Amino acid sequence: MAIDPQRRKELYRLVPEGALTSRNWLRLQNLSSHAIDNSVKSKQLETIKNGIYKREGADVEWGDVVYFLQSVHGSDFIVGGISSLELQKLSHYLSLSERRTIHLYGLDNVPVWINIVSKQASFKKHSKGGILGAGFTKEHAAQLDNFITTYPWRNAKRSAAWAILEVLYQVPHTISFEHADELMQGLNTLPPRSMQKLLELCKNMKVRRLFFYLSERHNHPWLSKLDKAALDFGSGNRVIVEGGKLDKNYQITIPESYE
């Protein structure tokens, strides 16, 4: 079915190469349902699932998926944790897999289709609640979002200051103690004011203790500007490394090889 050249031009403007869009969003851009259906029938648009489209034959990169979730789908997902540090070139690990894992943090549910639309990446969702604590509120989440850095090229991602806390929360289950230590070593330019506020928002005692243990281990210049006395570190020992030795200062178990 032929499509009007002017309509095709407008469609391509609204849906750039590789971008994802939705039927609802296109309707908000004054495209009628009839025009959208004709675009699908004429193979100008390809259906990903009911109501989700991309340009016919275009490859979708993982950044396009994130941008769609944030800007079109209206979700609260942010690229965080190890993925955020990788994007800021603060992680030197290279994935051995052809498909990288992108870590998303938010309260919304992840659409099932996002893990099949991009050939280069799969997505893993994490909740904000683990670090903010069991009783966290939307107000806490809103305060946290004030520290998100938005990069206009593709998507929004966490600041390095909060991303490292998200990484430490994953130790030792999905990130090793040693890997977290190497990541912390490279963070010698964290902003102390923001870091202090984020540590106050963080309600996870294990994360707070591990953060200060590793920071002191690398003697970062910003460390002296943090007010440790204003933070609650809880009580009792925390087992981070099974079979490790106890660091008496922060009451966490660390690898035997660490001084």
- Residue 144 has what pLDDT? 65
Kindly report, residue by residue over 209-237, the tens digit of the pLDDT.
Answer: 999 999 999 999 999 999 999 999 999 99
Kindly report, residue by residue over 147-160, the tens digit of the pLDDT.
Answer: 555 444 345 567 88
DSSP state of 134: T
Q: What are the CA-CA distances from residue 210 to residues 137, 148, 164, 169 (Å)?
A: 24, 22, 11, 9
pLDDT band at 118 (very low <50, low <70, confident <90, very high): confident
- Residue 6 has what pLDDT? 79
Q: Which residues pair with residue 120 across a beta bridge?
A: none
How confident is the model over 103-108, as a mean pLDDT?
A: 85
Q: What are the CA-CA distances from residue 43 to residues 26, 38, 40, 85, 233 (Å)?
A: 16, 8, 5, 39, 59
- Residue 154 has what pLDDT? 45
Q: What are the CA-CA distances from residue 27 to residues 47, 90, 161, 214 (Å)?
A: 16, 41, 39, 51
- Residue 12 has what pLDDT? 86
- Residue 187 has what pLDDT? 92
Q: How many residues does the chain have?
A: 259
Determine how many CB atoms are found less than 10 A away from the CB of residue 3: 16
Residue 244 has pLDDT above 70, yes or no: yes
Count CA within 13 A, CB hemisphere, residue 240.
29
Q: Are strands 52-55 and 78-79 parallel, antiparallel or unpaired?
A: unpaired
- Residue 166 has what pLDDT? 92
Mean pLDDT, all residues of the chain = 85
168 touches 207 (CB < 8 A):
yes
- Residue 222 has what pLDDT? 95
Q: Which residues pair with residue 42 across a beta bridge?
A: none
Distance CA 247, CA 258 (A): 10
Alpha helices in the chain (DSSP H): 5-14, 23-28, 33-41, 62-67, 81-87, 114-117, 129-132, 138-145, 160-169, 177-185, 192-201, 205-218
pTM of the model: 0.83
Residue 21 has pLDDT above 80, yes or no: yes
Among 156, 128, 158, which Cα is nearest to 63's? 156
Residue 100 has pLDDT above 50, yes or no: yes
